[in-house]
Amino acid sequence: MAVVLVVLGVLWWFLLGVLEREARNAEERAANMVIGQLRSALVIKGAEVMLSRYGSLAEHRGINPFELVEYPWGNYEGLCENLLPDPGDWCFRTSKQQSEQQKETVNRPKGWLIYNPRQPITIDRRHAYETQPLAWEVTTEFSDRNGNGVREQEERLTGLRLSSVPLTEKAAQTQDAQR
């Protein structure tokens, strides 16, 4: 009887390890899938803006990319009500300067996308730990002709992209030059 209990205990322990690993893999794949879909939507939106005579890519910096995809996301909370979304959920945090920016832009909230992982995973080649959220912001791409990574005035904007940023309001200013 003792041998049977030991064998069942070892099998149970092995099964729990496999279930935990599969749950981590599922969350990782789901989060990376969301990032991929949002990036695809931004490519399409960037092309629409470039083909439009009245829009500019710069006006779309900091938009909520979830608004571009018509899909009822189950783990998207909308605008961040609390400091962090629930574990495994996404939310959109608006910037403090939103009211001044809205008067000048397309009248949409500006900010960044937040994801709060349930467990340690890798999202967008970044390591995420439980209750240590990651952030992304919609920025513009440009033709970097001289290869220095900084946009000069003669280098034109070429599209929209989702860039990872540190989760502080001051650091949400990405490498996107506004000159």
* pLDDT at residue number 38: 93
In the chain, how many H helices and how many E strands? Answer: 2, 7
Q: What does the buried/exposed string (b/e) look like for 83-94 if buried means 16 or more CB atoms within 10 Å of the residue's CB? A: ebbeebbbbbbb
Q: By the 8 A CB rule, do 172 and 165 touch?
A: yes
With 0.85 as the threshold, say if the pTM is over it.
Answer: no
- For position 91, what pLDDT does the model report? 92
User: Could you read off the pLDDT of 104-151 as tens digits, one per residue?
Assistant: 444 567 888 999 998 888 888 888 887 789 999 998 887 766 667 667
User: Where do the structural domains in the chain lie, given as residue ranges?
Assistant: 2-172
Strand ranges (DSSP E) for 28-178? 76-79, 89-94, 111-116, 121-123, 126-128, 134-142, 157-165
- At 94, list the tokens: 């608006």
High-pLDDT (> 70) share of the chain, %: 80
Residues 74-104 have pLDDT tens digits of 889 888 887 788 888 999 998 764 444 444 4
